[in-house]
Amino acid sequence: AAPTRVFAFRDARWAPDPVLAPSAAVRSPQPAPLVIDNGSFQTRAGWACPDPAVPAEPLLRFRSLAARSRGARGGAGAETQVGNDLGSPEPLRWLLRSPFDRNVPVQLELQELLFDHVFQRLGVSSQGCVDHPIVLTEAVCNPLYSRQMMSELLFECYQVPKVSYGVDSLYSFYHNRRQNWPCSGLVISSGYQCTHILPVLEGRLDAKNCKRINLGGCQAAVYLQRLLQLKYPGHFAAITLSRMEEILHEHSYIAQDYIEELQKWRCPEYYENNVHKMQLPFSNKLLGSTVASEEKQEKRQQQLRRLQELNARRREEKLQLDQERLDRLLYVQELLEDGQMDQFHKALVELNMDSAEELQSYINKLSLSIEQTKQKILQSEVNIEVDVVDSKPETPDLDPLGSEQSLEDVESINEFEPLFAEEQPEVEKPVAAVQPVFNLAEYHQLFLGTERIRAPEIVFQPSLIGEDQAGIAETMQYVLERYSKEQQAILVQNVFLTGGNTMYPGLKARIQKELLEMRPFQSSFQVGLASSPVLDAWYGARDWAVEYMNREEGWISRKDYEEKGGEYLKEHCASNVYVPIRLPKQAPRAAEAPSRASGTANPGEQA
């Protein structure tokens, strides 16, 4: 028998980050560097301190999101929540903002909110500034404008003493290959927004041959959401992005051969043995109404009485207003009868009338309307009394004349019975005994079959979602072909996988299969996975900060920022390559001025 593979969604809520009290070793003998892995999916922050009292792991881990609520009416103003303080992203999905465009921070106001959250929760106690050196990760080949704005934020707003920028995937490579550093290799980094192929030669990034694929975990989650919403349109709202990310992290895998794996899923036995059923939350209440017909009739009677009372109240209000207006008109008519012509004409102007005949006509109409309203009010009161009398239970004493009359009524009703034959059984049908004809729990299950491999496959076949890009295998082959055969042999001996989107089971075997197809016969290669693909970038940045804490290499001081600009970068083993801005040379204006002056002084010579 096939094992039952029913999994419930955790729908875990994020616990707010506490305010941590930093250890004394962070402040003495000198302020320890603060390491921030500024990722587009998650921000990780902690201290780089060799003292064993300070944890060698990120103390803060939260989603790189912020939301600003509108605030209560008449109460406090808008409230801004960051990261884990949001609790859950789904109720606030339309309010969520991220400082990133793909993997590049562009919204510096939101980035400042993330930094404020980090410094506050880590207990940075310096007044008016952050006096700790900052080690910050950035995107591969980060635009100079983005680095300039980030340096301006750190130096001008937080008054940091020095900053170092590095690439997250290179920090991870440095952490896992530290014993053999400097070394060469091919780094495949796949994150939330992008996938990068980075060749590293002798411990330095070869930026000219780096390639980026604009696909990552975010696009896989959106693709999986669309697949399941098309498959289960009845559960459209329950198929959220957070649940899709949970499915990707825990139930998806990379097929070694995608077409062959799809053929396996066509077999019913294979499907039953490998399908994962995701249980959506549901209620045990029946979908249909279980209210008896008598209760429905009683509810209708109550609604009818309520409507009659509402109409009666409106008629009374209208009657009161009409009566007040009639009294006013009769008072004006009395002025005419008493001979007070001036006041009478003045009152006619206020009433927007022209003559006494028009006044008399309006009085007659208003009097008639008041009489009709009074009759309607009396009739409605009689109807309400009749309804109340009819609602009383019938007495068992029946006199003979009454019984004869009731028999005649029954015979007259039987004549019209065929007209109500379709509606009558439906009203009197007992609904309380209805049982569900299907398993309600199974109705609220998502069956994950080929979706388990289709969503993560987009990084190898972007055409699945209509993207006109090359996959990982084609891009990797393109990068390798830009080197000589000797350099290719060196690079493929150290193919390194890192990033949160490389944690799928089977990814390493798939990369080995692709390399086996593209490499020459009997050539060797090695594929390795990071020890912790998500956290190794932070660990590598911490290792670098501890080692280079007292050196000048890789650190941008405030003096460098003021002299060379915010886009300036000091290179190190895990950094980008600094390409300064080259402005076009302009002709000196001092040389142009004499020629213009001579031209205006001697116009005859020019002629």
Q: DSSP letters of 372-387?
A: HHHHHHHHHHHHHHHH
pLDDT for 342 beyond 70:
yes
pLDDT exceeds 90 at position 419: no
Q: What is the pLDDT of residue 27?
A: 86
More confident residue, 298 or 207: 207
Give tens-digit pLDDT for 471-522: 999 999 999 999 999 999 999 999 999 999 999 999 999 999 999 999 999 8
**pTM beyond 0.75:** no
pLDDT of residue 453: 96
The predicted model gives 58-81 an average pLDDT of: 79
pLDDT at residue 159 is higher than 80: yes
Alpha carbon 241 to chain centroid, angstroms: 7
Look over the chain and give the mean of its residue pLDDT values, rounded to a whole number.
Answer: 85
Confidence tier at 121 by pLDDT (50, 70, 90)? very high
Q: Is the pLDDT of residue 428 over 70?
A: no
- Residue 314: pLDDT band with limits 50, 70, 90: confident
Q: Which residues contact 34 (CB under 8 A, 6 or more apart)?
A: 45, 46, 47, 48, 118, 122, 124, 130, 132, 133, 134, 135
State the pairing for strand pair 495-498/185-190.
Answer: parallel
pLDDT at residue 394 greater than cutoff 60:
no
Quick one: average pLDDT of 100-123?
Answer: 94
The pLDDT of residue 425: 44
* Cβ-contact 206, 232 below 8 angstroms: no
CA angle (460 as vertex; 459, 464 as ends), nearest 5? 80
What confidence category does residue 404 fall into, taking pLDDT thresholds of 50, 70 and 90? very low
pLDDT at position 594 over 70: no
199: confidence class by pLDDT, cuts 50, 70, 90:
very high
121, containing H or E segment: helix 108-121
Alpha helices in 122-254, H assignment, sequence order: 144-152, 168-176, 217-231, 241-251
Least confident of 41-45, 433-437, 567-571: 433-437
Indicate if the pLDDT at residue 77 is higher than 70.
no
Cα angle: 115, vertex 141, 567; to 5 degrees: 60
Q: Which two tokens stand for residue 551?
A: 């050196």
Q: What is the pLDDT of residue 2?
A: 47
Q: What is the pLDDT of residue 409?
A: 47
Contacts of 103 (CB under 8 A, 6+ apart): 39, 40, 139, 191, 192, 193, 194
What is the average per-residue pLDDT within 210-223?
96
Q: What pLDDT, on the 0 to 100 scale, is given for residue 596?
A: 52
> What pLDDT is stored for residue 341 in this prediction?
83
Rounded mean pLDDT, 575-596: 70
Res 580: pLDDT: 85
| pLDDT reported for residue 297 | 83
pLDDT band at 40 (very low <50, low <70, confident <90, very high): very high
Residue 386: predicted pLDDT: 52
Express as a percent the part of the chain with pLDDT over 90.
58
**Is the pLDDT assigned to residue 318 strictly greater than 90?**
no
Per-residue model confidence (pLDDT) at position 605: 42
Whole-number pLDDT of residue 391: 46
| Helix axes of 341-350 and 293-337: crossing angle, nearest 10 degrees | 150
| Alpha-carbon gap, residue 122 to 26, rounded angstroms | 11
Q: How confident is the model at residue 278, as a pLDDT? A: 95
Q: Is the pLDDT of residue 381 over 90?
A: no
pLDDT at residue number 361: 86
Among candidates 273, 281, 279, which has minimal Cα distance to 4?
273
